[in-house]
Amino acid sequence: MITAAKNHRLLLASCLLATTALIGAAQAQEEPIKVGVLHSLSGTMAISETTLKDTIEMLVDDQNEKGGLLGRPLEAVVVDPASDWPLFAEKARELLTVEEVDVIFGSWTSVSRKAALPVLEELNGLMFYPVQYEGEESSKNVFYTGAAPNQQAIPATDYFLEELGVEKFALLGTDYVYPRTTNRILEQYLKDNGIAEEDIFVNYTPFGHSDWSSIVADVVALGADGKKVGVISTINGDANVGFYKELAAAGISADDIPVVAFSVGEEELSGLDTSDLVGHLAAWNYFQSADTEANEAFVAAWKARMGEDRVTNDPMEAHYIGFNMWVNAVTEAGTTDVDAVREAMWGQEFPNLTGGTATMLPNHHLTKPVLIGEITEDGQFDIISQTEEVPGDAWTDFLPESAVLVSNWQELGCGMFNTETETCVQIESNY
Q: What does pLDDT average to over the chain?
A: 91
Does residue 204 lie within any of the structural domains?
yes
- In this structure, the answer to whether residues 50 and 107 fall within a common structural domain is yes
Tell me how far apart the alpha carbons of residues 417 and 431 are, in angstroms, rounded to a whole number: 21
Q: What is the pLDDT of residues 339-385, one digit of tens each?
A: 999 999 999 999 999 999 999 999 999 999 999 999 998 889 999 99
Q: Which of 330, 386, 387, 329 is nearest to 360 (CA)?
A: 329
**3-class DSSP state of 121:** helix
Tell me how far apart the alpha carbons of residues 329 and 323 are, in angstroms, rounded to a whole number: 10
Mean pLDDT across 287-302: 98
Q: Give the type of residue at 176.
A: Y
Tell me how far apart the alpha carbons of residues 420 and 426 are, in angstroms, rounded to a whole number: 14
pLDDT-wise least confident of 18-27, 41-50, 65-74: 18-27
The pLDDT value recorded for residue 26 is: 41
- In this structure, the answer to whether residues 278 and 157 fall within a common structural domain is yes
Does residue 325 lie within any of the structural domains?
yes
Does residue 251 lie within any of the structural domains?
yes
Mean pLDDT across 399-416: 96
Q: Is a pLDDT exceeding 80 seen at residue 397?
A: yes
- CA geometry: angle 39, 41, 46, nearest 5 deg: 90
Q: Is a pLDDT exceeding 60 seen at residue 293?
A: yes
Tell me how far apart the alpha carbons of residues 259 and 212 are, in angstroms, rounded to a whole number: 15
Share of the chain above pLDDT 90, in %: 82
| Helix, strand, coil % over all residues of the chain, rounded to 5 | 40, 20, 40
Tell me how far apart the alpha carbons of residues 130 and 316 are, in angstroms, rounded to a whole number: 8
Q: Is a pLDDT exceeding 50 seen at residue 45?
A: yes
The pLDDT value recorded for residue 18 is: 44
Q: What is the DSSP string of 176-241?
A: SHHHHHHHHHHHHHHHHTT--GGGEEEEEE-TT----HHHHHHHHHHTTTS--EEEEEE--TTHHH
Give the CATH number for residue 104: 3.40.50.2300
Strand partners, 234: 173
The pLDDT value recorded for residue 114 is: 96
- In this structure, the answer to whether residues 259 and 134 fall within a common structural domain is no
Cβ pair 129, 106 in contact under 8 A: yes
- In this structure, the answer to whether residues 84 and 142 fall within a common structural domain is yes
Provide the H-helix boundaries in 229-313.
239-249, 266-269, 293-306
Q: Which of 266, 270, 248 is nearest to 257 (CA)?
A: 248
Cβ pair 168, 135 in contact under 8 A: no
Does residue 382 lie within any of the structural domains?
no
Q: What is the pLDDT of residues 164-215, one digit of tens each?
A: 999 999 999 999 999 999 999 999 999 999 999 999 999 999 988 999 999 9
Does residue 264 lie within any of the structural domains?
yes
User: In the listed set 323, 342, 363, which residue is the last one of a domain according to the structure?
Assistant: 363
- In this structure, the answer to whether residues 246 and 355 fall within a common structural domain is no
Number of domains in the chain: 2
- In this structure, the answer to whether residues 141 and 222 fall within a common structural domain is no
The pLDDT value recorded for residue 16 is: 44
- In this structure, the answer to whether residues 131 and 103 fall within a common structural domain is yes
DSSP at 32: P
pLDDT-wise least confident of 4-18, 116-130, 307-321, 332-346: 4-18
Does residue 138 lie within any of the structural domains?
yes
The pLDDT value recorded for residue 269 is: 83
User: In the listed set 284, 317, 335, which residue is the last one of a domain according to the structure?
Assistant: 284
Cβ pair 241, 263 in contact under 8 A: no
pTM of the model: 0.87
- Rg over CA atoms, the chain: 24
Domain that holds residue 209: 151-284
Strand partners, 142: 127
- In this structure, the answer to whether residues 38 and 141 fall within a common structural domain is yes
Q: What is the pLDDT of residues 47-66, one digit of tens each?
A: 889 999 999 999 999 999 99
Q: What is the pLDDT of residues 261-272, one digit of tens each?
A: 998 889 878 877
Residue 195's CB: how many other CB atoms inside 10 A? Answer: 19
Q: What are phi and psi of 232, to 5 degrees?
A: -105, 115
> Where does the pLDDT of residue 7 fall: very low under 50, low under 70, confident under 90, or very high at 90 and above?
low
Length in residues, the chain: 431
User: In the listed set 308, 338, 363, which residue is the last one of a domain according to the structure?
Assistant: 363
- Pairing between β-strand 168-174 and β-strand 229-234 as defined by DSSP bridges: parallel
Does residue 399 lie within any of the structural domains?
no
- In this structure, the answer to whether residues 183 and 122 fall within a common structural domain is no
- In this structure, the answer to whether residues 216 and 280 fall within a common structural domain is yes
Q: Which of 72, 84, 78, 71 is nearest to 55 (CA)?
A: 78
Does residue 237 lie within any of the structural domains?
yes
- In this structure, the answer to whether residues 157 and 274 fall within a common structural domain is yes
- In this structure, the answer to whether residues 68 and 88 fall within a common structural domain is yes
For 5-24, letters b (16+ CB in 10 Å) and e give: eeeeeeeeeeeeeeeeeeee
